[in-house]
Amino acid sequence: MKKQLILVLLALLPMLAFAEKRGVIYEGIYFIVYDDGTAHVTWNPERYSGDIVIPASFVFEGKEYHTVSLTDYAFYECFDLKSISLPNGLGFIGPMAFQYCVSLEEITIPETVNTIAAGAFADCISLHKFNMPKQLVNIGEGAFYGCPHISCLNIPKTVQFIGGQAFDQCFIETIFVNNVFTLKSGDVLPFSDETFNHAMLYVPEGMWREAVYASAYWKYFANIREATVKTGSLQAARAYMMLDAQTHRHLAYEGGNELNADKAFYTFDESDADFSWQFVEEGGNKYLYNIGAKKFANVNAAGELELSSQAQPIKMEQEEEGVKIGNKTFFFVANSQVNADDNATAIKGIMMQPEEDADAVWYTLDGRQLHDAPVIKGIYLRNGKKVTVK
């Protein structure tokens, strides 16, 4: 009997060692630390305020600790918390961790976080900007309940569970979901009736049917559109709307060579060609053409898109959530209400002329090639530029 008791105690020793913990205050942040070197941010009885930076690791009494989680109620009712920097390596945001942080406007959640627990950001009434990490798996019940300024969501394909009322009482305009197959929820739906009825749900190209007939809650959305997120799926014969992959705002022609990247989907008519873009590819080069402006998009030195009558190849990099062009990532939504513009191909053809004879080739503005130099007054295209003949 004594021998068996000793064996049981020996088996429990690792668990007992792990259970040893103590409270530590490091640079004003309250932690619970364990002998295994992990540190967990915990509640401050005086409440955190202002701008807070959580260290990824720190040394206390000669031992190094690594921050891995925010415990239950860690920042609960920190009414004057303005901003917080969370470290890479953080994996868990606990229940009610930021509930009632009414002054918190935006937060960057580290890509290492896999769980945002129940009520973690509930009633953060000023929160309007946050990200969902690419390793996120679980979003707990009421995680963002009562955050009225959250207008768009990007749900990574890693997410497998969204709890009931997770985004209830949020005025969501658009949602992009990378996967409609594995997502599950509890008995209570994660979105409000207003979101189901009025928000636009974007799903990857080819998944509309799965979303409409899904056993999960996606079928309750009244508005579902497919989004193209791969350059190889773009078709030259179609018109597209370009949406910023982070904000879901549309990129539109504003006038002159100016573009506006902050147009909400409900503020315009889809038949407006200023919001419509055409993809052109020739000789391995890619071009973007705005149908309303009849101009091409170029990337300036700051990495921003602007318009020009002269086409220049654009670098388009494939990313998980869309196509990176310049310093932004976009996804494309087909627009059946605007026809593709044949001028895009005609103008593009001018740009592809060999350098040695480009100056000798003239085109009309509608893309018709002339046999000789024009003799009638007007505006023509030569070497990709407009030339006035007087």
Tens digit of each residue's pLDDT (9 = 90 or more) over 211-260:
777 667 888 899 999 999 998 899 888 899 999 999 999 999 998 889 99
* Residue 88 one-letter amino acid: N
Q: What is the pLDDT of residue 116?
A: 98
Q: Answer yes or no: is pLDDT of 7 > 50.
A: no
pLDDT mean over 343-359: 49
Cβ-based neighbour number of residue 352 at 10 Å: 12
Q: What is the pLDDT of residue 376?
A: 66
Local confidence band at 351 (pLDDT 50, 70, 90 cut-offs): very low
Q: Report how far Cα 36 is from the mean position of its chain's Cα atoms.
A: 36
Q: What is the pLDDT of residue 4?
A: 41
**Residue 209 or residue 292, greater confidence:** 292
Distance between CA atoms of residues 53 and 107, nearest Å: 12
Q: What is the pLDDT of residue 366?
A: 60
0.85 exceeded by pTM = no
Q: What is the pLDDT of residue 179?
A: 79
**Residue 77 or residue 387, greater confidence:** 77
Identify the CA nearest to 200 among candidates 233, 243, 142. Answer: 243
Q: What is the pLDDT of residue 21?
A: 84
- Percent of the chain at pLDDT > 70 equals 85
What is the signed CA dihedral for 130, 229, 291, 299, rounded to 10 degrees?
Answer: 70
331-340 in b/e burial notation, b at 16+ Cβ within 10 A? bbbbbeebeb
Q: Which of 102-111, 168-177, 209-218 has the lowest mean pLDDT?
A: 209-218
- Whether the CB-CB separation of 24 and 31 falls below 8 Å is answered with yes
pLDDT per position as a tens digit, 252-293: 999 888 999 888 877 778 889 999 999 988 878 899 999 999
Distance between CA atoms of residues 241 and 48, nearest Å: 44
Local confidence band at 353 (pLDDT 50, 70, 90 cut-offs): very low
- Whether the CB-CB separation of 58 and 81 falls below 8 Å is answered with no
Q: What is the pLDDT of residue 368?
A: 65
Q: What is the pLDDT of residue 18?
A: 46
pLDDT per position as a tens digit, 181-198: 667 767 789 999 999 999
Local confidence band at 168 (pLDDT 50, 70, 90 cut-offs): very high
Q: What is the pLDDT of residue 228?
A: 92
Identify the CA nearest to 174 among candidates 160, 155, 147. Answer: 155
Distance between CA atoms of residues 104 and 84, nearest Å: 8
Mean pLDDT, the chain, rounded, equals: 86
- Percent of the chain at pLDDT > 90 equals 61
Distance between CA atoms of residues 118 and 222, nearest Å: 27
SS (H, E, C) the chain: CHHHHHHHHHHHHHHHHHHCEEEEEECCEEEEEECCCEEEECCCCCCCCEEEECCCEEEECCEEEEEEEECCCCCCCCCCEEEEECCCCCCEECCCCCCCCCCCCEECCCCCCCEECCCCCCCCCCCCEECCCCCCCEECCCCCCCCCCCCEEEECCCCCEECCCCCCCCCCCEEEECCCCCCECCCCCCCCHHHHHHCEEEEECCCHHHHHCCCCHHHHCCEEEEEECCHHHCCCCCEEEEEECCCCCEEEEEECCEEEEEECHHHCCCCCHHHCEEEEEECCEEEEEECCCCEEEEECCCCCEEEECCCCCCCEEEECCEEEECCEEEEEEECCCCCCCHHHHHHHHHHCCCCCCHHHCEECCCCCEECCCCCCCEEEEECCEEEEEC
Q: Answer yes or no: is pLDDT of 55 > 70.
A: yes
Q: What is the pLDDT of residue 211?
A: 79
List of residues 6+ apart from 155 with CB closer than 8 A: 132, 162, 175, 176, 177, 178, 179, 183
Local confidence band at 297 (pLDDT 50, 70, 90 cut-offs): very high
* Range among 165-179, 203-217, 260-274, 363-377 with highest mean pLDDT value: 165-179
pLDDT mean over 138-153: 96
* Count of positions (residues) in the chain: 390
**Residue 345 or residue 189, greater confidence:** 189
